[in-house]
Amino acid sequence: MPKVRQRPFANISTRPTVIDFDMELVYHVHKAHSPIIGTAIHDGHLIATPLLSYMHLQEHERFREEDPYTAYMAGVSASRILVETSRFQVDLNRRREEAIYRRPADAWGLSVWEPMLPEVIINQLLADYDRFYADVGQLLQWTIARFGKFVVLDIHSYNHRRETPLAVASIGENPEVNIGTGHNHEKWKWLGQQLTRFLAHHQIDGMFIDVRENVKFKGGGFSEWINRNYGEYGCVLSLEFKKTFMDEWTGRVNIGHLNKLKSILGGCIPFLWDKLDDFVKPVYPYGR
């Protein structure tokens, strides 16, 4: 079993968090022979060096709203997209016009930049946003050309103790796993339901996992873009894991819990591939 590096708050300052590049967005696209694509677009913590003088947040404040360990979970898939840059530099799960946090209302009441980034820098960041989406489009087109279909497992995590370390959000509105399918074409509704039932049959620490669809989140800008452009051939299943596998205030992870989640996700790959085989493929205009 691969080792997972602990990311406690107490040690955050000792981890490398910036690299010396211009404003480049750091991400990796791994292409493999599979119609299933795993993504972790909010796992990253890097901030470009030229932006540090504008960054108003402390490192632990950023870390709490990022999605640590989701890249580790996304490693179960054959094809994958992993982002190392923080969402606070540019949020790839929002529409282009909302990808830079300009006001506290854009970022859970947090003041991200002080002073606000100059427009010339914002334009550079948005150029990277465009480059990322162009690369996503290329991977989807390549996958469709070979399989005629695809499923994106869009892996995220979310806070349930946002107010204080002890104030736990209500269970009724915060499932252990929320599957967001709100942007998918109607023809893919069955697949979200199938995955919900599949995950809900698994247990962690002797308890069945509370898995529900579109309760807390329905899918973000990433899912919206994919479905708008490629929804005829596939869909996005946005998996939001409640941060019960870690302490969202200290950053410490429960390795056993995390590895169990990763193992369960690993089982989703053959399950979804098998379900996709029942789907009648539309004609892809660019061939194979």
Provide the H-helix boundaries in the chain: 59-65, 70-74, 119-147, 189-200, 221-230, 255-276
Answer left, alpha or beta for residue 287, where phi above 0 means left and psi between -120 and 50 means alpha.
Answer: left
Measuring CA to CA, which residue among 78, 81, 99, 98 is closest to residue 90?
99
CA distances in angstroms from 276 to 73, 268, 273, listed in the order given: 22, 12, 5
Whole-structure pTM value: 0.89
C-alpha dihedral (98, 245, 14, 11), degrees to nearest 10: 120
To 5 degrees, how large is the angle CA 264–CA 269–CA 275?
Answer: 115
Measure the CA–CA gap between 106 and 269, rounded to whole angstroms. Answer: 34
Asked if residues 272 and 189 have their Cβ atoms less than 8 Å apart, the reply is no
Measure the CA–CA gap between 232 and 230, rounded to whole angstroms. Answer: 6
Measure the CA–CA gap between 36 and 17, rounded to whole angstroms. Answer: 30
At residue 277, the pLDDT reads 82
Q: What is the pLDDT along the chain (288 residues), one digit of tens a residue?
A: 444 444 433 333 333 344 334 678 999 999 999 999 999 999 999 999 999 999 999 999 999 999 999 999 998 878 999 999 999 999 999 999 999 999 999 999 999 999 999 999 999 999 999 999 999 999 999 999 999 999 999 999 999 887 778 777 788 889 999 999 999 999 999 999 999 999 999 999 999 999 999 999 999 999 999 999 999 999 999 999 999 999 999 989 999 999 999 999 999 999 999 998 877 666 666 554
As a CATH number, domain 9-276 is 3.40.630.40
At residue 24, the pLDDT reads 85
